[in-house]
Amino acid sequence: MGIDYGQARIGLAVSDPMGLFARGLETINWNGRDLSWGLARIETLIKEHQVIGLVVGIPRRTDGKASDSEDQARKLAGVLAERTGLPVVLRDERYTTVMASRIMRETGMRKERRKSVVDQIAAEIILQEYLESLRQAD
């Protein structure tokens, strides 16, 4: 499962059973303070989709330094690892939202719909890049 953490939304993506292709799954809206409902939803989706590992995007600043969002994403990754027992991989996610926005514009997606799926597409990019890195390592 790919996870794009954000202060207001968390995008989720899953891969096919062969681990070849990622697809957007869901966007969790939250208030930026209490993540308990979001964690419960992620755990439910992990079970439903028989997830065997998590890839969490780490939102580094463009200068490569850590940000508050990065600290929060790392905390989320730690909590998920503890609660699910699944392995967690952290991936640099710089520019994934920019890439997701470009994809939506190029495919002609209506502006009103973009906000609800941009984080899913970013999670899909994070997961797809990770899956491709595994194939290149072989």
CATH code matching the domain that covers 2-137, chosen among 3.40.50.2300, 3.40.250.10, 2.30.33.40, 3.30.420.140: 3.30.420.140
The pLDDT-based confidence of 55 (bands split at 50, 70, 90) is very high
Please indicate whether residue 61 or residue 71 has the higher confidence score (pLDDT).
71
The pLDDT score that the predictor gives to residue 130 is: 95
What is the model's pLDDT at position 116? 67
Which of 12-26, 27-41, 57-71, 117-131 shows the lowest per-residue confidence on average (mean pLDDT)? 57-71
Is the pLDDT at 63 greater than 90, yes or no?
no
Domain ranges in the chain are: 2-137
Cβ of 125: how many Cβ atoms within 10 Å?
A: 25
Provide the CA 57 distance to its chain's centre, in angstroms.
6
Q: What is the DSSP letter of 20?
A: -
The pLDDT tens digits for 5-45 are: 988 889 999 999 999 999 999 999 887 778 888 899 999 99
Which of 42 and 116 is assigned the larger pLDDT? 42
The DSSP bridge pattern shows strands 2-4 and 54-58 to be parallel
Tell which residue, 65, 57, 50, 60, has the closest CA to residue 17.
50
Answer yes or no: are the C-beta atoms of 11 and 123 closer than 8 Å. yes
Query: Which pLDDT value is given to residue 82?
Result: 96
